[in-house]
Amino acid sequence: MVREFKIKELRALVEPTRVHRDVYTNPELFDLEMDRIWGHSWIYVGHESQVPDPGDFITTEIGVDPVIMVRDDAHKVRVLFNRCRHKGAKICAKTAGNNNYFRCPYHGWTYRRDGTLRGVPARAGYGAQGYSAGDEGLVPVAQVDDIRGFVFAKKSPNEPGLRTYLGEAALTLENIADRAPAGRVEIAGGRLRYRHPCNWKMFVENLNDAMHPMIAHSSVGMAARDYMKSQPADAIYPREAEILFPFGSSYEFFDKMGVTALPNGHGYMGGTSSIHTAYSDIPGYWEAMVASYGEQRARRILSSNRHNTIFYPSFTAKDAIQAVRVVRPRAVDETVVETYHFRLVGAPEAMLERTIAYSRLINSSAGMVGPDDLDCYGRMQDSLRSMACDWVDLSRYADADESTGSKRTATGTSDLASRNQFSAWLQLMTATD
């Protein structure tokens, strides 16, 4: 049973410019988050290109619930709880594959690709109940929908639908698909899994924290700058230098990028500029885009340059890089982050190679940037157990937001994104349905 908190106890944890350390360290609050936040939000599951044919499946989690995303015989993508209806064993332990049916390894109940029950060994012994085929299938997740092949699911049957929930954040996914001359993307290059010894919110907040790169990543920024300075003026830099150099950018650079907060905790940095704007052109890509879209539309598509878009609480995407990171909470102090890369169908393969190079350098556990962040998360998780001080500060530029409708913007080094995430956190945690 999840412990219920009184609404006033939850409200006491989130103030306008600070949050109580318990939100990162209390295991009972983590359990409540898995129900109230991860059970009532649209959570990213996977991309349709991971299951192109009937029987193709991947396994993953929604919060701490194991699920299977499978394409059934009618070509419909389904998301089913990965839990046998008999005594609860996990039906499928593989991360991906193709099955004619799913067979529980414990007592052999079998399920079709659409989750319906196919067979029960020695069925007669179950008495009047009998478990006839068609009953007691794998439980489907209540809602499944997608944006251009990016599949999300929600355990609760309640409104809002996916489009309404994501709002303007969905444009980042539209933009990733539009950046393909064929108008669609497919997953390529495997996945990077990276265990983080921290609460899931530390990772999600970090993605729109522009106060840390010039400090936490200064060594790599300086090394790239020194290397580039040592080269002749007309040098063509290797793409690794181009990728690493902006991590040493100034406060002014990130301030100019700006940050945007959207309803439901979503948001993004940049918009027209980001740390990816100055990359060199890849031969043949612009020509392929113009051939597909015409010059004007191709220019418009490529002018969108969001740094990181947060799809609260589970997912983050970079449009200009065509890479996404998926947040998988394991415990109050443990989170797995998975990175996936996308091929722009119809674009030169060098585009995918750059995406993978970016991930290897930045997002991988053997990279030169992500481990800096991981070290900081671990330090926070460790020291926030201390009762020396109960509060975590979110006050930077607290009174300087500008509102346009439901959207708020601020200078890039504002804490606006974190404040926005905690406003959604409190709303979901105290919702009464």
Site residues, ligand FES (CB under 6 A): 84, 86-87, 89, 104, 106-109
CB 106 → ligand FES: shortest distance, Å? 4
Nearer to ligand FES (CB atom), residue 126 or residue 391: 126
Nearer to Fe ion (CB atom), residue 373 or residue 415: 373
Chain center to CA of 164 = 18
3-state secondary structure 234-294: CCCCCHHHHHHHHHHCCHHHHHHHCEEECHHHCEEEEECCCCCCCCCCCCCHHHHHHHHHC
For 397, list phi and psi in degrees, rounded to 5.
50, 45
CB 223 → ligand FES: shortest distance, Å? 54
Half-sphere exposure of 382 (CA within 13 A, CB side): 8
DSSP structure class, residue 156? S
CA angle 4, 10, 15 (to 5 degrees): 170
Tell me whether the omega of the peptide bond preceding residue 371 falls within 30 degrees of 0, making it cis.
no
* Structure tokens, 415: 């804490």
Residue 242 interacts with Fe ion (CB under 5 A): yes or no:
no
What's the CA gap between 191 and 359, in Å, rounded? 10
CB 88 → ligand FES: shortest distance, Å? 6
Q: Is residue 83 within 8 Å of residue 105, measured between CB atoms?
A: no
CB 89 → ligand FES: shortest distance, Å? 4
DSSP structure class, residue 48? G
Residues 372-401 that bind Fe ion (CB under 5 A): 373
Nearer to ligand FES (CB atom), residue 101 or residue 106: 106
Binding-site partner at residue 126 among Fe ion, ligand FES, none, CB < 5 to 8 Å by type: none
Residues 347-376 that bind Fe ion (CB under 5 A): 373
Nearer to ligand FES (CB atom), residue 119 or residue 167: 119
Nearer to ligand FES (CB atom), residue 44 or residue 81: 81
Measure Cα distances from 429 to 1, 279, 415 in Å: 16, 41, 21
Which amino acid, residue 348? Answer: P
Helix (H, G, I), strand (E, B) or coil at 224: helix
Binding-site partner at residue 373 among ligand FES, Fe ion, none, CB < 5 to 8 Å by type: Fe ion
Nearer to ligand FES (CB atom), residue 121 or residue 157: 121
Binding-site partner at residue 104 among ligand FES, Fe ion, none, CB < 5 to 8 Å by type: ligand FES
CB 87 → ligand FES: shortest distance, Å? 4
Nearer to Fe ion (CB atom), residue 211 or residue 290: 211
Q: Is residue 308 within 8 Å of residue 269, measured between CB atoms?
A: yes
Residues 136-175 that bind Fe ion (CB under 5 A): none
CB 92 → ligand FES: shortest distance, Å? 11
Binding-site partner at residue 107 among Fe ion, ligand FES, none, CB < 5 to 8 Å by type: ligand FES
CB 51 → ligand FES: shortest distance, Å? 23
Give me the residues that bind Fe ion (CB under 5 A), please. Answer: 373
